[in-house]
A and B are shown apart, each in its own frame.
Chain A
Amino acid sequence: MIGAILVAINVLVAVFAPVIGRWEPQLLDVKARLAPPNPTHWMGTDDVGRDVWSRVVYGTRLSMLVGGVVMLFSFVGGIVFGLLGGYYRPLDNVLMRIMDGFMAFPPIILAIALMASLGPSVVNVIVALGIVYVPRVARIVRGSVLVIRETPYVEAALALGVPDMTVLRRHVLPNCLSPVIVQGTFIFAAAVLGEAALSFLGVGVPPQIPSWGNVLAEGRLYLQQAPWLTLFPGAAIMACILGLNLFGDGLRDLLDPKMQGVANSARPS
């Protein structure tokens, strides 16, 4: 419940960022550089006088965008590969070896390597993190498909002469969705963390775009003079990830009672 509320707040902040932000995130208030939190700049300003509140608010928007799109990307890719692999045995061997290969890279390392080639941009961060999480979704889907394809109702559908693609779409897919949906919130959280880490390292979103990772990277240089540059975006990340983890745990208990109590939350990079 708390999780759902935290997630809802994040989504609302993301949607209404221009209203809530109060300032343009790029606007330079040169007279107030590194200003501590005050009535004009609620969370203070950074080294060039940009409003931290507005940058954190727009950072929320970016994080929600990255998290959401990476989740969808990994769903689509993972479901396609998982269905094909689980259903067609000869294909399975090849597909799963490739997925295993991708999963042999620690997530953040693969993301950094991909970003090195793709270059810093929002789209590339989404593509890189999407590629990281597709094999993970594919594994889950494949696992469910292996069970479902042996069930009598699939056998019955095939005996009636229903084409493979229709069986996959109408009978197999709907039954393997609930573990994927549960995993979705954790992938969302992992993608938000991934984007923050990549941007913090300077290989994610370009520095001029407000993102939690970018604000933290700047804040690191002014930790002593301006701790608000670290504390506020840090609190935003924590609230967001905590909300997603709580929401995911709740969703899992609701959809997948067998998994209850198994630690499965997003592993921070």
Chain B
Amino acid sequence: MQTYLLRRVLAVIPVMLVVATVTCVLIHLAPGDPASIIAGPDATPADIARLRHQLGLDEPLPTQLVHWYGRLLRGDLGDSIFLRRPVTEAILERLEPTLLLTSWATLIAVLIGVPAGIVSARYHNTAVDQSFMGLALIGLSIPNFLLGLLMILVFGVWLRWLPVAGYVSLDLGLWPNARSLLMPAVSLGLVQSALIARITRSSMLDVLREQYILASRAKGLAERAVVYKHALKNAIIPTLTVIGITFAILIGGAVVIETVFNIPGVGRLIISAVLRRDYPVIQGVVLIIALTYTLINLLVDLVYLTLDPRIRYQ
């Protein structure tokens, strides 16, 4: 168990090394000289040379990589070209809306997905099951940004129940903040709830075929007790993995949803950086998101380990 734990933690190191290398090399994928592309068509040769030096592009690639790793270990992501300030500062400032949006969306996904999955499994092959699974399939077929646009159209434009777009900071109160995040979080979370529902259902169905379920039915337990006390405990483990990963997946989705609803989060930051070719910001955001994604995956594996004794003793 301890060796497994150690192995799992150590496995993160090569992954992070690849992530850091990919983000560093990213800038060199551009056709032509990156410095003159970033500087734009109106830049003088002196501007371009200065920018090249500022970004460290005047050094050979291996040197650039070593410098990049060193800076990352110190937590220094460099300065934004356009915003003229440290990238870490810019990201930290934009973190609140993205984290809140992702958390709300995860909550919505779980609150809808898990019960829907359990009910579908319990009433397997009935009209209830089929309509839930039909809805889940439709849910999986709507891109989150389209769902966002449709919600704006219905609840913002036609019914006028909710603000069409924009973000109210948490400083101005929990309720206005939650209200501004309601539609974005639903459009982000609903799609994911379809996935959670399908996985909960299939793992419930697997467990319900087990011998001990037959035994507990045979001894006369109420169906409710069989499903919720005996089956759920074992079936929920694969679901928990998905829920953990959900948060990570939704960070990616938030990038798109923030654009739909004009939310000033990390996603807007990277999109505007792409449009301005502000490479340090792009590299910083991509790196931070990949890091979060990897650490959440690690955490999920570790939680899994403590929850399922079968894995622990293998």
- In this assembly, does B105 line the interface, its C-beta being within 8 Å of a C-beta of chain A? no
Task: Let me know if A109 and B286 touch, CB within 8 A.
Answer: yes
Task: Let me know if A216 and B145 touch, CB within 8 A.
Answer: yes
List B1-47 residues whose CB lies under 8 Å from chain A: 11, 14-19, 21-23, 26-31
Contact with B202, one of A110, A203, A237, A262 (Cβ below 8 angstroms): A262
- In this assembly, does B252 line the interface, its C-beta being within 8 Å of a C-beta of chain A? yes
- In this assembly, does A242 line the interface, its C-beta being within 8 Å of a C-beta of chain B? yes
> Chain B residues with Cβ under 8 A from A242's Cβ?
137-138, 141
Task: Let me know if B143 and A237 touch, CB within 8 A.
Answer: yes
> Chain B residues with Cβ under 8 A from A119's Cβ?
30-31
- In this assembly, does A201 line the interface, its C-beta being within 8 Å of a C-beta of chain B? yes
> Chain A residues with Cβ under 8 A from B253's Cβ?
108, 268-269
Question: A113-B282, A201-B271 given as contacts; is B142 within 8 A of A107 (CB)?
Answer: no
Question: A203-B275, A223-B152 given as contacts; is B157 within 8 A of A117 (CB)?
Answer: no
List A218-269 residues whose CB lies under 8 Å from chain B: 219-220, 223-224, 227, 230-231, 234, 237-238, 241-242, 245-246, 249, 261-263, 265-269
- In this assembly, does A100 line the interface, its C-beta being within 8 Å of a C-beta of chain B? yes
Task: Let me know if B252 and A106 touch, CB within 8 A.
Answer: yes
Task: Let me know if B248 and A200 touch, CB within 8 A.
Answer: no
* Interface SS of chain B: helix
> Chain A residues with Cβ under 8 A from B153's Cβ?
223, 227, 230-231
List B136-164 residues whose CB lies under 8 Å from chain A: 137-138, 140-146, 149-150, 152-153, 157, 164
> Chain A residues with Cβ under 8 A from B27's Cβ?
117
Q: How far is the CA of A237 from the CA of B282 in the complex (A)?
A: 29
Question: A101-B15, A193-B143, A216-B149 given as contacts; is B157 within 8 A of A114 (CB)?
Answer: no
> Chain B residues with Cβ under 8 A from A200's Cβ?
145, 256, 259
> Chain B residues with Cβ under 8 A from A245's Cβ?
137, 140-141
Q: How far is the CA of A230 from the CA of B142 in the complex (A)?
A: 13
Q: Of the 9-residue stretches B65-73, B225-233, B289-297, which lies at the interface with chain A? A: B289-297
- In this assembly, does B249 line the interface, its C-beta being within 8 Å of a C-beta of chain A? yes
List A75-114 residues whose CB lies under 8 Å from chain B: 97-98, 100-102, 104-110, 112-114
Shortest C-beta distance, A157 to chain B (Å), equals 33
Shortest C-beta distance, B106 to chain A (Å), equals 14
Shortest C-beta distance, A237 to chain B (Å), equals 6
Task: Let me know if B271 and A202 touch, CB within 8 A.
Answer: yes
> Chain A residues with Cβ under 8 A from B256's Cβ?
108, 197, 200-201, 269
Task: Let me know if B149 and A230 touch, CB within 8 A.
Answer: yes
> Chain B residues with Cβ under 8 A from A263's Cβ?
195, 198-199, 201-202
> Chain B residues with Cβ under 8 A from A196's Cβ?
143, 145
Contact with B290, one of A109, A237, A266, A267 (Cβ below 8 angstroms): A109
Task: Let me know if A100 and B277 touch, CB within 8 A.
Answer: no
Task: Let me know if A268 and B142 touch, CB within 8 A.
Answer: yes
> Chain B residues with Cβ under 8 A from A98's Cβ?
18
Q: Considering residues B27, B271, B274, which has the most beta carbons from chain A within 10 angstroms of its beta carbon?
A: B274
List A100-137 residues whose CB lies under 8 Å from chain B: 100-102, 104-110, 112-119
> Chain B residues with Cβ under 8 A from A118's Cβ?
29-31
Contact with A113, one of B26, B142, B145, B293 (Cβ below 8 angstroms): B26
Q: How far is the CA of A202 from the CA of B276 in the complex (A)?
A: 12
Question: A104-B19, A223-B153 given as contacts; is B277 within 8 A of A116 (CB)?
Answer: yes
> A263: nearest residue on chain B (CB-CB)?
B198
> Chain A residues with Cβ under 8 A from B270's Cβ?
109, 112
Task: Let me know if B205 and A261 touch, CB within 8 A.
Answer: yes
Q: Considering residues A97, A113, A201, A263, which has the most beta carbons from chain B within 10 angstroms of its beta carbon?
A: A263
Task: Let me know if B141 and A117 touch, CB within 8 A.
Answer: no
List B248-288 residues whose CB lies under 8 Å from chain A: 248-249, 251-253, 255-256, 259-260, 270-271, 273-275, 277, 279, 282, 286
- In this assembly, does B191 line the interface, its C-beta being within 8 Å of a C-beta of chain A? yes
> Chain B residues with Cβ under 8 A from A112's Cβ?
255, 270-271, 274, 286
Task: Let me know if A104 and B143 touch, CB within 8 A.
Answer: no
Q: How far is the CA of A221 from the CA of B137 in the complex (A)?
A: 29
Shortest C-beta distance, A192 to chain B (Å), equals 9
> Chain A residues with Cβ under 8 A from B11's Cβ?
100
Task: Let me know if A202 and B275 touch, CB within 8 A.
Answer: yes
Question: A104-B15, A108-B255, A234-B150 given as contacts; is B282 within 8 A of A265 (CB)?
Answer: no
> B273: nearest residue on chain A (CB-CB)?
A116
Q: How far is the CA of A107 from the CA of B249 in the complex (A)?
A: 9
Q: Considering residues A114, A117, A193, A200, which has the most beta carbons from chain B within 10 angstroms of its beta carbon?
A: A117
> Chain A residues with Cβ under 8 A from B297's Cβ?
104
Can you name 10 A-B residue pairings with CB atoms under 8 Å?
A101-B15, A105-B19, A105-B286, A109-B290, A112-B274, A216-B145, A227-B153, A261-B201, A267-B249, A268-B140
Beyond the given A106-B248, A234-B149, please list 7 additional residue pairs across the A-B interface where CB-CB is below 8 A: A109-B270, A113-B286, A116-B26, A231-B153, A262-B202, A265-B195, A269-B144
Residues of B participating in the A interface, judged by any CB pair closer than 8 Å: 11, 14-19, 21-23, 26-31, 137-138, 140-146, 149-150, 152-153, 157, 164, 191, 195, 198-199, 201-202, 205, 248-249, 251-253, 255-256, 259-260, 270-271, 273-275, 277, 279, 282, 286, 289-290, 293-294, 297
Closest 6 CB pairs of A and B: A101-B18, A106-B252, A263-B198, A117-B29, A242-B141, A241-B141
